[in-house]
Amino acid sequence: MFTRIQTFIVAFGLVLGLGTSAQATDTVLTLTYNGQTQTFDRPTLEALGTETVETTTIWTEGTQVFEGVSLARLAQEIGAEDGRLLATAINDYTVEIPVSDAVENGPILAITMNGEEMSVRDKGPLWVIYPYDANADYRTEVIYSRSIWQLDRIEVVQ
């Protein structure tokens, strides 16, 4: 009997372990531009290079540390120089972000908050974060409305 329980525990642990590694390669962002669709899992997105933004937000308490890919780097990667980004969340909520917002030291697609990967429950998998504290221009209703969380799709339109 004891052996069956041990076997069950080991098998259950392996299943959980496989589930964890499978999640690491799940698509976190689908990007559509010029009729082409590209998908990114977390490692592929992070391979573009990450930046850190330390800022307060109107949705959290105190200063938070976000890490993710800059919107400027993502726009550069696909060659988007103008137009709009239709950023869509898991629940199909969509906001428009002008490509002109994709500037150096500008918004990032946050992957982690305070060193922890963001779950869907905690505004993940991705959250558009502007460096709100770095520039008063980023503390407006318009910018706050562009700070979409649970982001999983971006379409570039002209």
Closest CA to 118 of 90, 76, 155: 90
Q: Can you give the pTM of this predicted structure?
A: 0.83
Cα–Cα distance between 131 and 148 in angstroms, integer? 14
Q: What is the largest distance, in Å, between two alpha-carbon atoms of the chain? A: 67
How confident is the model at residue 17, as a pLDDT?
38
Higher-scoring residue by pLDDT: 19, 124: 124
Quick check: 29 pLDDT over 70? yes
Residues in the chain: 158
Grade residue 25 by pLDDT with cuts at 50, 70 and 90: low
Say which amino acid occupies 27.
Answer: T
Which region, left, alpha or beta, applies to residue 62 given φ > 0 means left and ψ of -120 to 50 means alpha?
Answer: left
Query: What mean pLDDT is predicted for residues 82-100?
Result: 97
